[in-house]
Amino acid sequence: MSKKVFIKTFGCQMNEYDSNRIIDVVKKIGFEKTNVIEDSNCFILNTCHIRDKAKEKVYHEIGRLKKRFKEKRKPIVIVAGCVAQAENKEMLNREPYIDLVIGPQSYHKINNTILNFIENKSRNEITDFDSISKFDYLSKIKNKKSKVSSFLTIQEGCDKFCHFCVVPYTRGPEYSRPFYQILEEAEILVKKGAKEIILLGQNVNAYSYFDKNKEFRLSNLIMSLEKISGLDRIRYTTSHPRDMTDDLIECYSKSKKLMPFVHLPIQSGSNKILKLMNRKHRVEDYILVYEKLKKINSNIEFSSDFIVGYPGENDDDFKDTFELIKKIKFVNSYSFIFSPRPGTTAANLKMIDEKVLKQRLKIIQERLFQYQIEKNKSLEGKYIDVLVENEINDQNKLFARNDYMTSVIFDGSKNLIGKVVSVKIKNSNQNSLFGEIDLNNKFIAA
């Protein structure tokens, strides 16, 4: 019988990267990826613990899975990711349908764990923090093809311990992968078709790797990727304001491939709240980074994450956040109501009234969306360069992204996939741009 694996992924890009690598790894023991749940004999849920009722969502997913397999033989059920790390054995105790629980730093052990389960039916939980072995192992497993825009994890974990956040507990201490291992992986990605590489880390700009007493930082990585022929675009996420050092800022003047778009979460525009959150940066520090980057290139745009209603946030603090949004005019952002997470310092703080929370979220989201719409509208009638990522459902329509990661949709043929082409923007809405290919484009003419 052929062995098939289905993987469902929640959470950040690092989970997406991990899911793709898990697929590469389990291929070694004969599992092929399927997109049809019912065809799978191994089901993996790659989970996220960042907000809300993360744990309960996992049990609901498993409940749904049980129903789908009611009449069929049960697949091997694996819970991976950050909820697996946080809940570990508890999951096996609570839900007998779950067979294996594997934390994010243990994916190099997944094949042995699955084989052991097939042979002995022993349910197991593996949640050690062992980033070195994980990446040593994963870097030896080569994947067959790359996406036009490919993720590459360079750093994992976090030592910053913001009081609201589970990441230091679910991903463990900060670990930076060896510099040359990353470059080798980047070369392979490009050889197999990647035109854009997005460097990933929970604190990607805290990347620091020492070799013979020489430090390699994110700036060194960017400038080395710059030299890879065939690679058109470089991005990185998520960065922390405290680690926006001058060497990284200078890359925006030195590199031709680094995109002029900075996702730099600030969380709040009030220094009082940033201090209560243990963010270790001030609003002034953020604005200074913004000004330095704008001076280098006025086309650089910012996006951020905001937590609304952190305990202690009064009307003035909220106003400060609103004023900051007006100053920076973020082109794209994520905003969330504070969600108390078990085990974090902020877990038991007194919550702000729910009505106030919802109202504040609505106010800032309206303003953030307005800037997003305005930015997209400002591109109407202009020619912009976009990287074509794929075709949309055989409709002869192409999906691409502009410099700021906004989706761009236009008519065109498949041979443009993987190319940077010029598109005239005809129309836009909050999330997308709609265009027409420039007929003088060199790829069309060729």
Q: What residues make contact with ligand SAM under the rule CB under 6 A?
A: 12, 50-51, 164-165, 167, 202-203, 238, 240, 265, 267, 305, 307, 336, 338-339, 341
> Should residue 276 be labelled a site residue for ligand SF4 when binding is judged by CB under 6 A?
no
Q: Which residue is nearest to ligand F3S (CB)?
A: 11
Q: Which does residue 339 touch among ligand SAM, ligand SF4, ligand F3S, none (CB within 5 to 8 A, set by kind)?
A: ligand SAM
Q: In angstroms, what is the minimal distance from the CB of 159 to ligand F3S?
A: 14
Q: In angstroms, what is the minimal distance from the CB of 280 to ligand SF4?
A: 8
Q: Which does residue 236 touch among ligand SAM, ligand SF4, ligand F3S, none (CB within 5 to 8 A, set by kind)?
A: none
**CB closer to ligand SF4, 62 vs 158:** 158
Rounded to 5°, the CA angle 420-426-429 comes to: 95
Range list of H helices, 297-418: 315-328, 354-378
Which residue type occupies 402? N
**CB closer to ligand SF4, 203 vs 406:** 203
What distance lies between CA 15 and its chain's CA centroid?
7
Stretch in the footprint of ligand SF4 (CB under 6 A) among 24-32, 139-147, 162-170, 396-404: 162-170
Please give the residues from 168 up to 197 whose contact with ligand SF4 meets the rule CB under 6 A: 168
What is the rounded distance in angstroms from the CA atom of residue 418 to the CA atom of residue 332? Answer: 24
Residue 389 near residue 416 (C-beta atoms within 8 A):
no
C-alpha distance from residue 390 to each of 198, 412, 432 (Å): 17, 11, 15
Residue 21 near residue 138 (C-beta atoms within 8 A):
yes
Residue 80 near residue 48 (C-beta atoms within 8 A):
no
**CB closer to ligand SAM, 163 vs 294:** 163
- Of 49, 109, 160, 195, the one binding ligand SF4 (CB under 6 A) is 160
> Should residue 203 be labelled a site residue for ligand SF4 when binding is judged by CB under 6 A?
yes
Residue 197 near residue 186 (C-beta atoms within 8 A):
yes
Strands (DSSP E) along 368-414, which ranges?
A: 383-392, 397-401, 407-411
**CB closer to ligand SAM, 267 vs 303:** 267
According to DSSP, the β-strands at 100-102 and 124-126 are parallel
What distance lies between CA 52 and its chain's CA centroid?
18
Residues that bind ligand F3S (CB under 6 A): 11-12, 14-15, 48-50, 81-82, 166-167, 170-171, 202
Residues that bind ligand SF4 (CB under 6 A): 158, 160-162, 165, 167-168, 202-203, 240
